[in-house]
């Protein structure tokens, strides 16, 4: 298998970036110049038309004001050409033309119409008298002047004689009524001359702007492409494995951003290479830790099995010892020394059996072998039994030990033996850690039903004992965990009771918790479960 040779990159360019950027900028600048020129052309074209319209309207209004409307309404086309009224109006139009022809008016573009029919006008007076008497259709722009409300003008329009811009003004008689209209026209040559002049200016400015755009684009292209070329060369060096590669950055624009981004990328790649090395070491350490964890799990399982076997093997001998101690205690004629020794043996055996039962229960829960035998139970009645069972212990320590019950029974679907074990652990723990003369309260709390969810009951044990530290709260329900406080009467604490309470409550679908404001401020332990929706009939319960 032959090794791969060193890779090379083709750095030749058939169409340099500077030329591409220059062409692009040239097109953009040329487009901008032409766009501005076109905008100015359209704006100036509209201004030219507006000026022509204003000039025509002023001329039409001025000419109409010089014509006597009463004389004008006597005219009847060509048959009136020899009348004094016609000659006077003709002379007035001719005089107005000569006075204003320097403004570009043509003698043939001033005339007066008289109404002929609703949609037709008749040439009444013209300087070019060949068309006097001819008819002309009414244009929409003529109506304001025909009805005498105001003057009016047109935009640029076409007819058979060419392109025109016209203005109209009403001729009024002595009663103020419109008897005709005056029309003054500009033909296309004046308008087009002004527009062509504007086009020439736009073309000249566009050519100059285009040349400047090409020059500026060439300069900008070189300015932009040079730092990009530096980045390209740096990329090639970096790809070839150069250890230190950095692009000099002197600007804060996008090109500078590209250089900074490349420098940042190089730094990130180097850091990722280091991170990969660290990750490899971490992965090896994790695998080693995983193997150790599996070994610990196996050891923990062996420990649990050993504890289960040891507890099971110790249970029977201890029960025998406890039985003989009970027989000795029940025999009334024993010496006092023997009686006290038997009492201590019985107490120690009972304590050891309690620990062994807890160990066996924990082992069964870990193996999933502990099965609950649930039945509806009145929890208050069960708590009352636990209360009376532990009352002698509380009296021995002169503790204020009270049970507060609710009026009605509280039914729960539980395993009676396991629930009794839970309640007894909580109550005996409170007695164990509460000092002599302390206070212990047992009471219930009920929450109402919410929709289809049944209500819940909570049993709480409160004391004014040593309280709980933050460390105690964090590991309170762990196996073999012992609290920072010690039992007040010299009792033994294995660290199994609360862990067993939590596991058994979890199997019941309930919850367990503890609250304390801190060391020396007492504590409150509680368990919570759903109220049983069905419970035995009264006669069944009483039996």
**pLDDT tier for residue 141 given thresholds of 50, 70 and 90:** confident
How deeply is 217 buried, as exposed, middle or buried, from its count of CB atoms within 10 A (0-12, 13-18, 19+)? buried
> What are the pLDDT digits (tens) for 350-389?
666 666 666 666 666 676 767 788 899 999 999 999 999 8
| CA gap 182, 142 in Å, rounded | 10
Q: Is a pLDDT exceeding 60 seen at residue 146?
A: yes
Instruction: Write down all domains in the chain, each with its CATH number in brackets.
Output: 20-197 (3.30.450.20), 275-369 (1.10.287), 371-542 (3.30.565.10)
Cα separation, 115 vs 118, whole angstroms: 7
When mean pLDDT is compared across 9-23, 163-177, 237-251, 306-320, the lowest value belongs to 306-320
- Percent of the chain clearing pLDDT 70 (strictly above): 71
> Bigger pLDDT: 115 or 240?
115
Q: Find how far residue 359's CA is from the centre of its chain.
A: 53
pLDDT of residue 406: 82
pLDDT at 3 over 50: no
Selected residue with higher pLDDT from 331 and 300: 331
Average pLDDT for residues 257-273, to the nearest whole number?
Answer: 77
Q: Which of 284-288, 406-410, 457-461 has the highest mean pLDDT?
A: 457-461
Question: What pLDDT is recorded for position 304?
Answer: 60
Q: How confident is the model at residue 398 (pLDDT cuts 50, 70, 90)?
A: very high
- Comparing 3-7, 372-376, 394-398, 412-416, the range with the smallest average pLDDT is 3-7
Give the best-scoring range by mean pLDDT among 41-50, 275-284, 324-333, 381-390.
381-390
Q: Residue 452's pLDDT is what? A: 65
120 pLDDT above the threshold of 90:
yes
Most confident of 167-176, 285-294, 494-503: 167-176
Higher pLDDT, 513 or 493: 513
The band of 130, judged by pLDDT with boundaries at 50, 70 and 90, is confident
Can you say whether residue 133 is alpha, beta or left, with left for phi > 0 and alpha for psi between -120 and 50 degrees?
Answer: left
How far apart CA 386 and CA 527 sit, in angstroms, is 15
Model pLDDT, residue 32: 78
pLDDT at 539 over 60: no
pLDDT of residue 281 exceeding 70: yes
Report whether 22 contacts 220 (CB < 8 A). Answer: yes
Average pLDDT over residues 499-508: 87
User: Residue 540 has what pLDDT?
Assistant: 47
pLDDT at 135: 92
pLDDT at 2: 38
| Average pLDDT of the residues of the chain | 78
pLDDT band at 287 (very low <50, low <70, confident <90, very high): confident
Compare 10 and 137 and report the one with higher pLDDT: 137
Mean pLDDT of 420-437: 89
User: Which pLDDT score, from 0 to 100, does residue 17 have?
Assistant: 61
The per-residue b/e assignment along 370-407, b for 16 or more CB within 10 angstroms, e otherwise, is bebebebbbbbebbeebbeebeebbeebebebebeeee
Q: Tokens 């704006």: give the residue.
A: 43
Q: Encode pLDDT of 41-55 as tens digits.
A: 777 777 877 887 788
Residue 502 has pLDDT above 80, yes or no: yes
Average pLDDT rounded to a whole number, residues 107-124: 87
Name the residue among 192, 195, 190, 197 with its Cα closest to residue 101. 190
Which DSSP string do the residues of 459-526 spell out, in sequence order? EEEEE-SS---HHHHHTTTSTT---SS--TTS----S-HHHHHHHHHHHTT-EEEEE-SSTTS-EEEE
pLDDT interval class at 12 (50, 70, 90): low
């Amino acid at each position: 298998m032959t090794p791969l040779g060193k890779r090379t990159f083709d750095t030749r360019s058939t169409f340099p970036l500077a030329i591409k950027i220059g062409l692009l900028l040239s097109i953009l600048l040329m487009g901008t110049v032409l766009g501005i020129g076109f905008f100015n052309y359209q704006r100036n074209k509209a201004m030219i038309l507006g000026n022509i319209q204003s000039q025509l309207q002023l001329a039409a209004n001025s000419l109409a004001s010089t014509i006597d409307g009463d004389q004008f309404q006597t005219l009847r086309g060509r048959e009136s050409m020899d009348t004094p009224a016609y000659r006077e109006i003709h002379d007035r139009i001719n005089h107005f033309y000569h006075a204003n022809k320097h403004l570009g008016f043509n003698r043939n573009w001033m005339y007066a119409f008289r109404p002929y029919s609703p949609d037709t006008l008749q040439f009444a007076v013209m300087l070019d008298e060949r068309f006097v008497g001819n008819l002309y259709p009414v244009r929409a722009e003529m109506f304001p002047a025909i009805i005498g409300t105001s003057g009016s003008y047109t935009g640029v329009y076409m007819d058979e004689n060419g392109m025109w811009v016209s203005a109209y003004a009403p001729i009024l008689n002595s009663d103020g009524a419109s008897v005709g209209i005056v029309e003054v026209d500009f033909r296309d040559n004046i308008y087009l001359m002004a527009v062509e002049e504007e086009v020439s200016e736009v073309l000249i400015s566009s050519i100059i702007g285009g040349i400047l755009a090409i020059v500026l684009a060439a300069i900008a292209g070189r300015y932009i492409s040079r730092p990009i070329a530096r980045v390209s060369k740096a990329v090639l060096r970096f790809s070839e494995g150069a250890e230190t590669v950095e692009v000099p950055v002197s600007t804060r624009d996008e090109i500078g951003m590209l250089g900074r981004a490349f420098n940042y990328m190089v730094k990130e790649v180097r850091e990722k290479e280091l991170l990969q090395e660290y990750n490899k070491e971490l992965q090896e350490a994790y695998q080693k830790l995983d193997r150790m964890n599996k070994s610990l799990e196996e050891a923990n399982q062996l420990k649990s099995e050993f504890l289960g076997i040891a507890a099971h093997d110790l249970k029977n001998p201890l029960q025998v010892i406890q039985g003989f101690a009970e027989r000795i205690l029940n025999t009334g004629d024993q010496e006092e020394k023997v009686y006290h020794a038997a009492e201590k043996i019985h107490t120690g055996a009972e304590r050891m059996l309690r620990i062994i039962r807890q160990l066996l229960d924990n082992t069964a829960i870990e193996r999933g072998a502990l099965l609950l035998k649930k039945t509806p139970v009145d929890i208050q009645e069960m708590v009352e039994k636990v209360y009376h069972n532990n009352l002698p212990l509380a009296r021995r320590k002169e503790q204020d030990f009270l049970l507060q019950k609710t009026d009605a029974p509280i039914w729960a679907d539980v395993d009676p033996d396991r629930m009794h074990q839970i309640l007894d652990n909580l109550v005996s723990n409170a007695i164990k850690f509460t000092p002599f003369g302390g206070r212990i309260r047992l009471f219930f709390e009920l929450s109402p039903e919410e929709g289809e969810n049944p209500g819940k009951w909570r049993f709480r044990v409160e004391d004014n004992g040593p309280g709980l530290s933050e460390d105690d709260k964090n590991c309170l329900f762990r196996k073999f965990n012992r609290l920072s406080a010690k039992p007040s009467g010299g009792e033994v604490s294995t660290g199994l009771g609360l862990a067993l309470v939590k596991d058994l409550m979890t199997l019941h679908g309930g919850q367990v918790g503890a609250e304390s404001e801190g060391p020396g401020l007492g504590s409150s332990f509680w368990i919570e479960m759903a109220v049983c929706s069905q419970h035995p009939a009264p006669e069944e319960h009483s039996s």
